[in-house]
Amino acid sequence: MLYLFNSGYRPLYVRNVLNTLFLPEGYTNEYRYKYAGQTRHVNPAVYSQLPQLRPGTESVVCFIDRFSAAGYDYHPLRRCTFVSYREASDYIFFRVRLGAYLYPRDQPKFRQDLVAALGRFGLPKLTDNNPENTSDGSYAILTESLFGRTEEYLKDDEAWTVAVEALSKTRALSTTSEQSPVFTRASIHPIASANKPETPTVLQGTAIYELKRDRPYEFLLTYRFPRQRVDQTAKARAEVRLGDNARVLGQAEIIIDSHANSVPVRFQCKRYAEEGSGAISLAAVDDQGQPKILVSDSSLQYEFRESTLFWAKAVTALFVFTLAGAFIGIDLSKLSPFSVHTLFTAAWPKFTAGVVQTAALFWIFRLIGSKLV
C-alpha cells in the first residue's frame, strides 16, 4: 500500500486537504513531496521503488495534525489507487484516483496501530518537541495495508462527516477570526436519475466527466460550515463557475447559512456551444471585514458529447438529404418503362455518390467545429 500524508503546514497543503474531501469518488488528485535537498519527505528506499510501482496499487490519503496536544495525530480520509507519478524541481507528484471515504471508529487505537506499523519506515512524528520542525519524517511510505479490517472503519457519508468534525478541531483547519473553513463534497447527477451520480473516466491519468449535450445535470454540493455552531448569524458565499459552453439553470451563487446542508445547482450545455470541454469549480466570495473563507480550489473537468439520439437523428437526416439529392438528379421522363427496378438502377450511382459527398461535407463541418444539422 502507498500511504500519502499531508500535515496542512502550508496554505497549499491545507487546500489539498479540502480538495481531498471535495472531489467525487473516481476523480483524480495530486499530492507533492520533496525527494531531494536538505529537507526531504520521500525516503530514498521508496524513491528507488517508484519505477516499479504499478497503476492500481492500493493507496490511502491521511491528514496529520502536527499541533495535537499529544504529539502528531493521524486522520485517514480516503481510500484511493495509484495512477502515476512525475518529477519536477526536486518534487515528486503522486496522482491517485480517489475512492471511498473512510475514518476509524476508534481513532486513538488507529493512531497506536499506525505508529507501531509504520514507525520503522519513517512515519512523520514530533521532532525536537517542535511541531514546526519540517524535518519530521517520510510523507510517502510503501508497505503493507492497515485497512484490511473494514469493520474498524466508517465509510462513505458517515466517514466524511466524522472526519470533517475531527479536522475542524485541528489548528490548520480550525475556525478563527482570520479564517472560516467550509468543508465540501461534490458530485454530478443526471436530473432524471438524481440518486445515481455520474462516474468520471480517467484519460491519460486525468479524470473527466463525459456528459451529454442534450441532458440537464445537477452539481450537488454538500457542506459543513463550523462557524455556524458558534455564531448562528454567520454566513458565507460561494459561486459555482462553469465553462463557457454551459449555463446555470437558476442561481450560480450559494448562500452558506447553515452548519450543514446540501445544495443542488442545475446546469446544461448551451444550445449552440461549439467547444465541448470545460470545468466546474467552486469559488469563495470574500466579504470585506469578514474572515477569509477557505474552500476547495479543485475543478471538475467535463466534456459534452452527443447522445445516441443525436446521432440517430443526424444519420436519418443525412440519409434523407442524400436520397432527395439523388432523386432530384433523375430525369423521370427517360425511365421507360417506369418501374421500381429502373428507378433503382438509375438512382443507385447518384445515391452512392451522394453518400460520399454528404459524408465529406459532414466531416468538414465537424472539423471546423460546426454542425451540419
pLDDT of residue 372: 43
pLDDT of residue 373: 44
Last residue of a domain, one of 130, 154, 174: 174
- Domain assignment present for residue 94? The answer is yes
| Residue 283 and residue 348 in one domain | no
| pLDDT at 39 exceeding the cut of 70 | yes
Q: How confident is the model at residue 130 (pLDDT cuts 50, 70, 90)?
A: very high
- Domain assignment present for residue 372? The answer is no
| pLDDT at 365 exceeding the cut of 80 | no
Measure CA of the first residue to CA of the last residue in the chain; give whole Å.
52
pLDDT of residue 192: 74
* Domains: count for the chain: 3
- Domain assignment present for residue 164? The answer is yes
CA angle 26, 31, 32 (to 5 degrees): 160
Q: Are 15 and 296 in contact (CB under 8 A)?
A: yes
pLDDT of residue 334: 55
| pLDDT at 338 exceeding the cut of 70 | no
**Mean pLDDT for the stretch of residues 34-52:** 92
**Mean pLDDT for the stretch of residues 259-278:** 89
pLDDT of residue 70: 87
Last residue of a domain, one of 174, 199, 232: 174
Q: pLDDT tens digits, residue range 193-217?
A: 657 899 999 988 899 999 998 899 9
Q: Are 82 and 59 in contact (CB under 8 A)?
A: yes
Sorted by sequence, the CB contacts under 8 Å of residue 323 that are 6+ apart come out as: 351, 354
pLDDT of residue 37: 82
**Mean pLDDT for the stretch of residues 281-300:** 92
| Rg from Cα positions in the chain | 28
| Residue 205 and residue 238 in one domain | yes
pLDDT of residue 276: 85
pLDDT of residue 330: 59
Q: What is the pTM of this model?
A: 0.84
pLDDT of residue 333: 55
Residue 275 sits in a domain of what CATH number?
2.60.40.10
Q: pLDDT tens digits, residue range 86-97?
A: 999 999 999 999
Q: For the chain, how many residues are written? A: 373
| Residue 292 and residue 342 in one domain | no
| Residue 169 and residue 184 in one domain | no
Helix then strand count (H, E) for the chain reads 6, 19
CA angle 315, 317, 321 (to 5 degrees): 115
- Domain assignment present for residue 273? The answer is yes
Beta strands 201-203 and 206-212 are antiparallel
| Residue 182 and residue 284 in one domain | yes
Average pLDDT, the chain: 88
Measured between alpha carbons, how far is 303 from 44 in angstroms, rounded to an integer? 40
CA angle 79, 84, 85 (to 5 degrees): 110
Q: Please give the residue that has the higher pLDDT: either 361 or 180.
A: 180
Grid cell locating 185: 463534497
- Domain assignment present for residue 373? The answer is no
Q: How confident is the model at residue 219 (pLDDT cuts 50, 70, 90)?
A: very high
- Domain assignment present for residue 45? The answer is yes
| Residue 244 and residue 129 in one domain | no
| Residue 279 and residue 224 in one domain | yes
What residue numbers bound the domain in which 345 lies? 308-367
Last residue of a domain, one of 305, 328, 346: 305
- Domain assignment present for residue 343? The answer is yes
- Domain assignment present for residue 239? The answer is yes
| Residue 263 and residue 282 in one domain | yes
| Residue 314 and residue 299 in one domain | no
Helix (H) or strand (E) holding 280: strand 277-285
Percent of residues, the chain, with pLDDT higher than 70 = 81
| Residue 200 and residue 327 in one domain | no
| Residue 212 and residue 140 in one domain | no
| Residue 216 and residue 323 in one domain | no
Measured between alpha carbons, how far is 265 from 236 in angstroms, rounded to an integer? 17
Q: pLDDT tens digits, residue range 220-256?
A: 999 999 999 999 999 999 999 999 999 999 999 999 9
